[in-house]
Amino acid sequence: MSSPAEQRKLAAIMFTDMVGYSALSQRDDKLALELLEEHREILRKIFPEFNGTEIKTIGDAFLVEFSSALEAAQCAIAIQRALAKRNADAPTDRQIQLKIGIHIGDVVHRGGDVYGDGVNIASRIEPLAGAGGICVSMDVERQIRNAVETRFEKLAPTELKNISVPMELFRIVLPWERKSEVRSEIRRGEGHKSAIRERAAAPTIRRFALIGGLVLLLIIGFVWWRTALPHKNPVATSPNPESGPPQNIPEKSIAVLPFENLSRDPDNAYFADGIQDEILTRLSKIADLKVISRTSTQHYKSTPENLPEIARQLGVAHVVEGSVQKSGDAVRVNVQLIKAGNDSHLWADTYDRKLTDVFSVESEIAKAIAEQLQAKLSGREEEVIAAKPTDNLDAYDAYLRGLAYTLKTAQIMANALNAQKCLKEAVRLDPKFALGWALLSQIDAGGYNTATLQPTAALRAEAEQAAETALTLQPKLGEGFLAKGNYYYGCLKDYDTAARYFEQARQFIPNSSRIPESLAYIARRRNQWDQSEGYFKEAERLDPRNVNVLTQHALSYMSLRQLSDALRKLDQVLDITPDDADTIAYKGAVALGEGDLPKAWALLAPLRVSAADNIVMRIKIYGAILRRQSKEIIGPLQEILRNSDPSLAYANAELRFWLGWAQDVDGDRAAAQESWRQADSELELFLKDQPSNYRLLNLLALTNMALGNKAAAVTMVQRAMAAVPLEKDSLAGPQAIEVLARVCAVTGNPERAIATLQQLQSLKAGSGALAVPLTPAVLRFDPTFDSLRNDPRFQRLCQEPQ
C-alpha cells in the first residue's frame, strides 16, 4: 500500500536527450551551453500545448509526464518538427538533434520525482530512437496507431537493461524523414545497444558513451562528405530511350506521388487522391515547371522505397510525398519535397485545418513547392494557384468522387456512368462550379466518341452545354478550353476547331499531357501519322506512365500494321499495370494479326468476357471464331445475357450479334438466326437517337448481312461511310470500308469485295472494325471471306508483303 506521500498512477513518460552534447561540451563549452538553453526554450514552449508536465531535467535530458500516450506522441512529433524546421537553416555545427523515447506504465510520484517501470523503460527506449527520431514501446503504439498521421516501423525484439524479457519497440516514421535515413539510424542504434546505460551509470561507462558519440559524429561527417560529392546522374546514362524518360532532366521538374490516406475510414482514399490532384493541378499551371501528370504517378505507392529509380522512370529531379488524415470537419495534410538524385529532404510541413479551409492548404503547398524550386510565377499563375474552385464542400466532395472514377485504369461503361453521376451532383449542388462543369463535359464527350456512354443527341447537347458553362463562369479556365476541344473532337468530328481549342488550353495548363495526347488523336484522323507520332512522344514525356496514352499509341501502331511496335508499347503498359485484361486482349489481337492463333488463344482463353468490357468481349470471341472453335464460349455468352444489366442495353445487343456468329461457326444456324434477329431489333431502337453513330451503323450492317438482308446491310454501311468519310477520318474511315468488304463477300458480290479489300490494303493505315487489324493473316482465317478463297486475287491479298 502506498504511503500518503506517494501517488501511484498510470502515465505516459517521455525521455528526451540531445545528440552529441557531451562531445560538443568538451570541444566548445560556450556553444554547447548556448544550444542547450535554446533547446530547453523550444521544448518548454511545446510541452504545455500537449498537457505535458516537466518532472525534471538531467543535464541535456528532459523527463516529462503525460496523462495519455497520444498526447506524449503528438508532443514528441511536434518537438521533432520544430527542430527540423530550425535545423533547415542552421549550419552543421549549430544543429540541435534529439532522441525521444516514450512508454506508458505505472509510475510513483514521491518527493517531487517520479519512479517506476514507466520511467525505467522510457529511459532505456530513448537511445534507440536515433538522431531526430522517436522510439515507443508496443503499449504506446497500440494506443496511438490509428490516432496519429504517421507510420510505424517495428524494430527487432530488444533486450533492455534490467528488463526480464525482450520488448517489442517501434520507431515513428516522421513525414519529413527519408526511409534510408531512418534505417541507417536504426542500424546505428542497434549496433550500439550494448552501450545503452542509465544516466546515473559509472564514469567509465560515460567515457565509453563519449567515445561512441565521437565515432558516430565521424561517421555522420563522412556520410555528409560523401553525399556532398558530385554524383553521376543515373538517368543520363540510360541506354534505351524507350525504357525511361528523356536523358536530360530539367532541375525544375517534379512529380507528386499519391498521398497516403491516414483516415480511419479507408473509403476516404478518394479525398486523399483529391488533395494530391488539386496540388498537382495548381503546379501544372506554372509554365516554368515540368510537372508529371497524375495518370503516371498514381501507379506508385505513397512512400516508395526506390525513389531515385521512380524519378528516373518519370524523368524528374524532385518528388513530392504526402499524407492526408480526415476526421469529421478537420483535415491534416503532411507534405514533403525530396530531391530525388540523392534522396534528400528539401522541405516539409504539416497543415491542420478545417475542411472549409482545405483549398487554402492546397494553394499554400503549391506555392511553397514552387518557391523551393525557384520557379518564376506570372501574376496570372499566382491567381490561378490561389483560386478556390467552389465554396460548397459537398459539391467538392462529389467532384472528387467523380474524378476518382475517371482515373481508374479500366475504361469500362460503369466507371463512365459513375463519374457522370457524381459530376452531375457536383454541379447541381454548386451551379457555379466551373471545374465540375468542365470535367462533366469531358466525360460526356469522351463517352459519346467511344460509345462508352450512349452517343445520343441529348448526351452531345449536355457535353456542349457543360463546356460552355465552364467557360462562361471562368473565361480563362484551361480545363474549359480542353472540354470545348473534346466536344468538337468527340461529338462533332470538327478536328480543325478542336485543335484550336486544344492550343488555347495549352496557354493555361502548359504541363497537361491531355493536350498533346488530344492533338495526336486529331493528327492520325487527318492521316498525319508522323505528326501524330510526335504528339504521342510529347504526351509520354509529360505523362510517361499513362496507360491510356501508351495503349492508344499501341493502337496507332496496330492501325499502321506495325505489330512489333504495338507489342512493345503494350508490354510497357503491362509493366505498369500487370494482368490488365484489356491490354492482354490487345496482345491477343496482335497475335491474331500475326496469324499465331495458338499464342493468341493462350492469352485470350483465361480472360473473362462481360458485356461491360467490349474490348475483351470482341477480341476473345473473334479469336475463337478465327480458330473455328467457338463452342466453348457460347455457354458463357448466354449466361451473361441471361443475367444482363438493363443499363447495358447497347452492349448486350452487340453481344447478341457476337453470340449469333459464334453459334453459326459452331453449326447451329437456327440459334444464330434467332440471336441475330434479337440483336437487330435491339440495335434498331438506338438508331433514331444516334443516326450518325458509325459504330452502330457498322454493327447493324453486319447483323443484316448475317440475316441475309442485303439491301439493308448495304444501306447501313453506306451511311457509316458517309458519317466517317475516309478523306476526313483516316482512323475510323477504313472500318466502314472493311464492313463493306464483308457485306459484299457474304451477300454475293465478290468483285466489289475484292476491290474493297485491295483498297484497304493500299491505305497507309488499315482497319480494325472488329478490334483486330485486318492483316493478310487474318484474311486467311476469317470465315466471312470463305466464298473468296479460290480467287487468285484474294489469295494474293492473303500473302504477307515482302
**pLDDT for 670-723, tens place per residue?**
999 999 999 999 999 999 888 989 999 999 999 999 999 999 999 999 999 999
Q: Which of 237, 235, 162, 233 is nearest to 197 (CA)?
A: 162
pLDDT of residue 164: 52
Cell of 470: 465552364
Is the whole-model pTM more than 0.75?
Answer: no
C-alpha–C-alpha distance, residues 457 and 396, integer Å: 28
pLDDT of residue 409: 54
What is the share, in percent, of the chain residues with pLDDT greater than 70? 87
Residue 427 has pLDDT above 90, yes or no: yes
Q: Which of 692, 678, 702 is nearest to 728 (CA)?
A: 692
Residue 639 has pLDDT above 50, yes or no: yes
Q: Which of 265, 263, 257, 381 is nearest to 322 (CA)?
A: 257
Mean pLDDT of 176-204: 40
What phi and psi values does residue 139 have, to the nearest 5 degrees? Answer: -60, -40
Cell of 704: 443484316
pLDDT of residue 39: 93
Grade residue 185 by pLDDT with cuts at 50, 70 and 90.
very low
Pairing state between β 61-66 and 6-18: antiparallel
Pairing state between β 98-110 and 134-137: parallel
What fold characterizes domain 242-388? Rossmann fold (3.40.50)
C-alpha–C-alpha distance, residues 434 and 479, integer Å: 9
Residue 229 has pLDDT above 70, yes or no: no
pLDDT of residue 161: 62
Top-level class of domain 6-228: alpha beta
Q: Which of 631, 698, 693, 697 is nearest to 661 (CA)?
A: 631
Q: Higher confidence at residue 13 or residue 222? A: 13
| In the block, residue with C-alpha cell 561540451 | 25
pLDDT of residue 154: 79
pLDDT of residue 629: 95
Mean pLDDT of 464-488: 96
Mean pLDDT of 586-596: 97
Q: Higher confidence at residue 558 or residue 348? A: 558
Mean pLDDT of 58-75: 89
User: For 359-404, how does the pLDDT look when each residue is reduced to its tens digit (9 = 90+)?
Assistant: 788 888 989 999 999 998 888 888 888 888 898 989 988 998 898 8
pLDDT of residue 479: 94
Q: Higher confidence at residue 149 or residue 787? A: 787
Concatenating the DSSP letter of every residue in 755-788 gives HHHHHHHHSSS---TTSS---HHHHHH-GGGGGG
Average pLDDT of the chain to the nearest whole number: 84
> Which residue ranges make up each domain of the chain?
6-228, 242-388, 398-432, 690-802
pLDDT of residue 259: 87
Q: Which amino acid is at 458?
A: A
Angle CA(759)–CA(761)–CA(767) in degrees, nearest 5?
95
Mean pLDDT of 473-497: 94
C-alpha–C-alpha distance, residues 257 and 193, integer Å: 36
CB-count burial class (<10 Å; 0-12, 13-18, 19+) for 515: buried
DSSP H helical segments within 643-791, as ranges? Answer: 649-665, 669-687, 694-707, 710-723, 733-746, 750-762, 776-781
Sign, Cα dihedral of 767, 770, 776, 779: negative
Q: Which amino acid is at 735?
A: Q
C-alpha–C-alpha distance, residues 432 and 505, integer Å: 20
Grade residue 189 by pLDDT with cuts at 50, 70 and 90.
very low
User: For 435-467, how does the pLDDT look when each residue is reduced to its tens digit (9 = 90+)?
Assistant: 999 999 999 999 998 878 888 889 999 999 999
pLDDT of residue 69: 87
Mean pLDDT of 633-648: 88
pLDDT of residue 486: 96
pLDDT of residue 729: 94
Q: What is the largest CA-CA distance in the chain?
A: 112
Q: Higher confidence at residue 51 or residue 221? A: 51
pLDDT of residue 243: 43
User: For 83-133, how does the pLDDT look when each residue is reduced to its tens digit (9 = 90+)?
Assistant: 988 988 888 888 999 999 999 887 888 877 888 877 888 888 888 888 899
Residue 221 has pLDDT above 50, yes or no: no
Mean pLDDT of 415-438: 94
Grade residue 247 by pLDDT with cuts at 50, 70 and 90.
low
C-alpha–C-alpha distance, residues 42 and 16, integer Å: 13
Residues, the chain: 802
pLDDT of residue 499: 95
pLDDT of residue 195: 33
Q: Higher confidence at residue 606 or residue 194? A: 606
The residues, ordered by sequence, that sit 6+ positions from 237 with a Cβ below 8 Å of its Cβ are: none
Q: Higher confidence at residue 274 or residue 78? A: 78
Q: For residue 505, what are the CA distances in angstroms to 166, 441, 482, 518, 720?
A: 62, 15, 6, 11, 32
pLDDT of residue 250: 87
pLDDT of residue 110: 80
